[in-house]
Structure formats: C-alpha cells, structure tokens
C-alpha cells in the first residue's frame, strides 16, 4: 500500500531538484514522468497527486531516479578529498555526488546529505552519507559502540606487541584516559587491521604514533557488519539497501 500522497512539484522538491519554482517549471515543461500503479505517468500538471512508495522510479529529463523519503548512501572515498562542504585545500567529497543529493531539503539550515563522521583527506574507504539526523547520531555516538574497521599500513615493520599495546590502551596527548582498540590483528609486518568503536581526531594515526609507528596508508573497510563492496570503486557511490542498513546495526 502507498505510504503517502504528494504532488508532483513537492515530490521533485523533496528529492532535491531545485527550488519549488524550479520544480514547478520542470513539471510544466513536461520533463518528468513517474511510475504509478505499474505504468508510466507523464503529466504537465505540477499539482498532480502521486501515490508515494519507497524506491518508486521516476525520470527527470530522461534520467532515471528513485524516490526515497530519506537518503542513505555509501561512498568509496578516494584519497585527496575532504569531508567538508567548504574544503580548504582538496576537492570536496560532495562534488562526487549529483546535485539533487546535495540539494535535498532538510529542516536545519544546511541542505543535502551529510557525511556520517569524517575521514582525513589522505584516508580512503567506506563513508556513509544521509539526510537523517537520527541516523547520523546513531552511527556517530560513542555510546552506541558501532565498530569501524581500518586497514593500516605503517612505514616500518610491526610485531605482535603492537596489538597487545593497542588492546591495553594508549594515552593521547589531549585525553588522559587510555584509548583502546576494540580488536587488532597483524596481517603482515606492515599491515594492521584495527577496529575502533569511537572516532577521535586523527585517532588511528595518533594511536599508532603512541606505539612508535608512522601511518603511511589508511583505509576504512567496514562499518558494523557492512563491508565496502569490491565493485564500488574510489569516487563511486550507491544507495544503501535495507539489508545494508540492517548490517550496520549488527555487532
């Protein structure tokens, strides 16, 4: 059964296709078609009432989209990009997304999807984006202990004692309380798999520095039980499926 009804103009606006006036123009010029009851509906009436369902297909100027009341995405963050709307040195990760995702209206002053946490400009890997504030809090808050797995490459070779020290906890210079690894495995002499359940500033690099090692490569491979797919290349993004979201909650 449809979850709600919405006018064509409001549907376009909710999905980030510009101002209400711009969405009015797209509809009136006949640039939009929507799937309704298994058939394509093309109308120039911006007030046309639509039966809305999650993942309902629609087309704008011949490009296929899907309606989502909330956006949940994964991005394979490439190196040399900043997780900022206003980057200082490197290109923004938001430039990798289509305009409609950057313009989705939200209740706060900031529009569009937002990154769930940040990765440094030289760090690659799995990054989540959404316009759901509760989801951001659920995934980011340390009290929820969502595990995040990193592949760490160091300049010099490590031994098993590195994992032992990280398990016991290391002290960072801005916090007297020891920071501990949730899990740690030495894959190769210069390759460590590190799992954390909190996200302090430059935490992985600072933890490794505390045990005498310099990080030269850092990649986030997993959040919760959600693995970065092998076929999602650096710079590419895709919608999260219901199964993906379920995997995020599993510990």
Which stretches in the chain have pLDDT values below 50?
Answer: 1-2
pLDDT in tens, 53-69: 999 999 999 999 999 99
Q: Which of 37, 39, 29, 35 is nearest to 9 (CA)?
A: 29
Domains of the chain plus CATH, in order, are: 4-67 (3.10.290.10), 72-143+225-249 (3.30.70.580), 147-223 (3.30.70.1560)
Q: Is 99 exposed, middle or buried (0-12, 13-18, 19+ CB in 10 A)?
A: exposed
Q: What pLDDT score was predicted for residue 108?
A: 57
In the annotation, is 120 catalytic? yes
pTM for this prediction: 0.92
Instruction: Exactly one of 51, 120, 122, 183 is catalytic; name it.
Output: 120
Distance CA 229, CA 250 (A): 17
Distance CA 248, CA 251 (A): 8
Q: What pLDDT score was predicted for residue 1?
A: 40
- Cβ neighbours for 148, distance < 8 A, ≥ 6 positions apart: 195, 196, 197, 199, 220, 222, 223
Q: Which of 27, 23, 73 is nearest to 237 (CA)?
A: 73
Task: Dump the DSSP string for 93-112.
Answer: GGGGS-HHHHS---SSSS-S
């Amino acid at each position: 059964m449809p979850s709600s009804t919405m006018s064509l103009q409001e549907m376009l606006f909710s999905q980030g296709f510009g101002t209400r006036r711009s969405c009015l123009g797209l509809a009136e010029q006949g640039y939009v078609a929507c799937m309704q009851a298994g058939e394509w509906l093309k109308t120039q009436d911006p007030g046309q009432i639509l039966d809305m369902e999650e993942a309902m297909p629609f087309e704008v100027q011949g490009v296929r989209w899907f309606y989502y009341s909330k956006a949940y995405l994964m991005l394979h963050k490439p190196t040399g990009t900043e997780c900022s709307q206003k980057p200082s040195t490197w290109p923004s990760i938001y430039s990798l997304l289509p305009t409609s995702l950057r313009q989705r209206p939200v209740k706060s002053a900031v529009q569009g999807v937002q990154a769930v946490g940040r990765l440094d400009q030289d760090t690659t890997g799995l990054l989540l984006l959404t316009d759901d504030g509760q989801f951001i809090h659920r995934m980011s808050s340390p009290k929820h202990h969502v595990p995040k797995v990193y592949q760490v490459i160091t300049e010099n070779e490590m031994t098993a004692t590195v994992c032992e020290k990280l398990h016991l906890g290391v002290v960072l210079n801005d916090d007297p309380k020891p920071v501990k690894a949730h899990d740690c495995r030495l894959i190769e002499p210069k390759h460590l798999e590190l799992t954390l359940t909190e996200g302090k500033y430059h935490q992985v690099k600072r933890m490794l520095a505390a045990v005498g090692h310099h990080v030269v490569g850092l990649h986030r491979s997993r959040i919760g039980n959600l693995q970065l797919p092998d076929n999602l290349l650096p710079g590419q993004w895709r919608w999260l499926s219901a199964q993906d979201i379920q995997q995020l909650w599993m510990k």
